[in-house]
Chains A and B, each alone.
Chain A
Amino acid sequence: MTYQKTEVLLKAENVGLSYAGKIILRDVNFTMHNIVRPDVCQGQVVSLIGRSGIGKTQLFKILAGMNKPTTGVVLIGEDMHEVREGEVGVVSQNYILFNHRSIKRNLEIALEHNDKNYTDADKKNIIKDYAEKFNLAEHLDKYPLQLSGGQRQRVSILQQALTSNKFILLDEPFSGLDVLVIDKVVDLLLKVSTLHELNTLIIVSHDIENSLAISDTVFIMANQPNKEGATITEKLDLIEMGMAWNPEIKNDHKFQEMVAHMKYKI
C-alpha cells in the first residue's frame, strides 16, 4: 500500500485543562498529517478513544476552539495558527440542526458560509448532488424533527461537510445507533473523508471496534498510574499495521484481537 505522510494539518502541543484545581487533561500531544495516496483522493480519519468521563468532550471542545486550554495550544492550517471557534466543524452527539428550517435550508445555510461564493443555481445543484449521494434527496423539504436519528445525523455531517471547514469533529457518532445504521454511518464518514484531500474527520468515541474500523490513526486517551488528569497514552498507526482503508477489516482475526486488547488499555 503506497502512501506518504506530508504536511502537518493539526497539532496539539502540551494541552492541559484544569477546573477548580482539578486536573482534567495533562500534557496532551499529538500531530495529524496529510496522508497522500497516488490516484486516490484520500482524507484523514483519526479517532480519539477513551472511556466515558475521561475528558474526551473537554478535549473535543478545545480542538473545536470552543474552550481554551489552561496550558498548551492547538494549531491548525498551513501557517499553524491557534485554532479559532468556527474553523472546525462539529457534529454533536444529538445532531443539532435548525429545527425551524427545512433540511434544504439547513444545507443552504452551510453553503452560505462557505468560502466560495456560489450562485443560487450552484447551491441548488450542489445540494441536489450531495443529497442524492447521502440518500437524503426525498427528505429535502422536510423539517429535522420529521427525520429519524440516523437521517438527522447524516444531515448534520453533510451540513458540516458543505462548509469550507476541512476538519470535522464527531462526538460519539456511533452512540445509540443500531448495527445496520452504524454500517451506513461508517460508509458516510468514509465518503465525507474522501470528498477532499485535506478533509480530516476526528472521531471522539468510546466505541473501539467501529472507530478503529474506519480510522487510519488512533490515539488512546487514558489516565496514567499516580498521575492526575488524562493524556494520550498510545498512538496506533493503522496504515503501518495494514489495518486501514479495508472495508472488511472487522472480519479480520488480528483486528478483533487488537480490539479485545484495547479494551484493557482505556
Chain B
Amino acid sequence: MMLLVFMQIVFVLGVWQWLGGGLIPSPGKIGLRILEIIKSGSFWDNFMMSLILTLKGMFFALIIALAISYLSLVPFFRPLAKFVIKCRYLTLTGLIFLFTLLTSDGSQLKLSLLLFGIVPFFVTSLLSVIDGIDKQEYELCSTLGMHKWRTLWEVIIIGRLDQVFEVMRQNFAIAWMMITMVEGLSMSEGGLGAMLIKSNKYIDLATVFSILVIIFFIGVFFDYLLGALRYSFFPYTKIQLRNK
C-alpha cells in the first residue's frame, strides 16, 4: 500500500514538474525555495510564533470547551452550550474591531480571535462525544453503587479521555488552519500567516506555495504525533478501532 502511495506521489510530482512553469510554480522550484526559507533565520522566528500561539490557543480552548461541555450536563447550562455550537457560523473578520478594543496587544488579540474561532468546534465535538455515551453505562454505575460525582468521573471524564484526545487531534487541524488567518488579520508580531500575506502581496507565488507546503507538512506531522500519543496513553483505543 505504501509503495502504491509513493508511486502515485512520484507520478503526480513528475507530471506537475513536466507541465509546470505557468501560474503554479513547479515542484522543483518550490523545493528549492523551501530550502531557502528554512535556512533564513526569520522563518524559525515566524514558525515558533505560530506554533506557540496555536498550542496556547489549543490549551485554553480545550479548558474552556471542556468546562462548557461538562456544564452542559446541568440543564441550566445546556442553552449556553447550544449557543456556543452555533457560533461556528460567526465570522472572525467582523469581530476584529471589537477584540482590538478588548485586548491590550497583538498577541492577546490573536489569541482571543483564535479562541473565539476554535472553541465552538471543540464544544461541538465534545458534546457529540458526551451525547453518544450509552445510557447503560450510567446504569452500570448505579448498579455498582456509585454516586453521581463518581459516575461523572468514571463515564464522562476518565472514560472519554481518549476521545477528548481525538477531538484535540481533529481540531488541531482547524486551529492550524485558523492560525494563518488570525495572523493575517493582525500582522504585528509576524508568524506563518503574516509571511503568507506578505508573499501574496508581492505575488511571490513560489514563496506562497513553499509556505503552504511547510504548513501542510507541519500539520500532518502534528496529526501523526497526537494520534501516536493517543495510542500510547490509551492503549485500549487501538482495540476499539480494530473491533469497528
Contact = CB atoms under 8 A, between A and B. Distances in A.
A163 B240 CA distance: 27
B144 A110 contact: yes
B142 A85 contact: yes
A88 B239 contact: no
Nearest to A168: B143
B73 interface: no
Contacts of A94: 136
Interface in A102-134: 109-110, 113
Interface in B139-168: 139-140, 142-146, 154, 158-159, 161-162
A182 B145 CA distance: 29
A165 interface: yes
A146 interface: yes
Given A90-B139, A110-B144, A143 B239 contact: yes
B144 A143 contact: no
B133 to A, nearest CB: 11
Secondary structure class of chain B's binding surface, majority of residues = helix
Nearest to B154: A98
A101 to B, nearest CB: 8
A202 interface: no
Interface in B77-116: none
A165 B143 CA distance: 8
A90 B143 contact: yes
Contacts of B134: 96
Contacts of A96: 134, 136-137, 139-140
Contacts of A66: 139, 142
Interface residues of B, number: 21
A146 B239 contact: yes
B239 A90 contact: no
Contacts of B128: none
B243 interface: yes
B158 A97 contact: no
A71 B145 CA distance: 26
B147 to A, nearest CB: 9
A100 B236 contact: yes
Contacts of A88: 143
A248 to B, nearest CB: 33
A64 B144 contact: no
Given A98-B154, A113-B144, A143 B139 contact: no
B237 to A, nearest CB: 9
A98 B236 CA distance: 11
Interface in A82-99: 85-86, 88-90, 92, 94, 96-99
A113 B154 contact: no
18 contacts: A85-B142, A90-B139, A92-B140, A94-B136, A96-B136, A96-B139, A96-B140, A98-B159, A99-B159, A99-B236, A100-B234, A109-B154, A110-B144, A113-B146, A163-B143, A163-B144, A164-B145, A165-B143
Interface of A: 64, 66, 85-86, 88-90, 92, 94, 96-100, 109-110, 113, 143, 145-146, 159-160, 163-165
